[in-house]
Amino acid sequence: CKLTTSILAGGAMASRAVAVMMMMARLATGLEVSGWQLSRQQALRAFPAAVAASVVAPSSAGAYQGIYGMEIISASDAVLDEEALQTSQVKAALKDLKVLYESVKSLRAAIATDAQYDVSSVIRKEFEVTRVRNTFNALNPVFDKETQKGTDRLQRGIIQDLVEIDAGAQVAPGKTRSPKKLAIVNEKLLKLETTFQKLDEYFAKA
């Protein structure tokens, strides 16, 4: 029956999560796992993705389609809290979201013109993590908890992308950005722009 299937699926997911957590705990101490010797720093960088992968469950029939296959409310079906939309905090955050979105577009245009463009400096100045997180937090009261399952994942994805772009775009003094590295940065920037677009779509009715 459906209940039994759900319980079994939940148990399997939990077991998978525990196994990954145990493995990452060993990695974090620099122990050898399956013939690989990783440093503590490498292990910690790998930890978020490993844990996320371990807790993803397949979406059920009829669920709204969302990233990672989770059941979330789509942007077109999102219902906004009109009272929250009228607060000064939400209005300011909405403007800042638009600014951030446009900044990503400008950054992509800049590196398309100049392959050696200082991407990291822009990321650190215009997309400072605390600022971005505060903007997202100010927007959350607009949605109910079910809708936030979708927006929260988009927000976390954006923050992760910003960290990865900053690290990947850096070039050693006296060196130039290789075509391979440029392609990776461009790919990540495109992904970032796409995620900002998806998040912005949740506020189309605002």
Cα separation, 18 vs 105, whole angstroms: 40
Whether 142 and 80 have beta carbons less than 8 Å apart is answered as: yes
Find all residues with CB under 8 Å of 169, minimum gap 6, and list them.
119, 120, 123, 177, 181, 185
Whether this prediction's pTM lies above 0.75 is answered by no
**Tens-digit pLDDT profile for residues 91-127:** 999 999 999 999 999 999 999 999 999 999 999 999 9
Task: Find the range with the poorest average confidence among 9-23, 30-44, 68-82, 179-193.
Answer: 30-44
pLDDT of residue 83: 95
pLDDT of residue 141: 94
**Tens-digit pLDDT profile for residues 147-191:** 999 999 999 999 999 999 999 999 999 999 999 999 999 999 999
**Mean pLDDT taken over the chain:** 77
State the residue for tokens 């070039």: 171
Cα separation, 133 vs 193, whole angstroms: 17
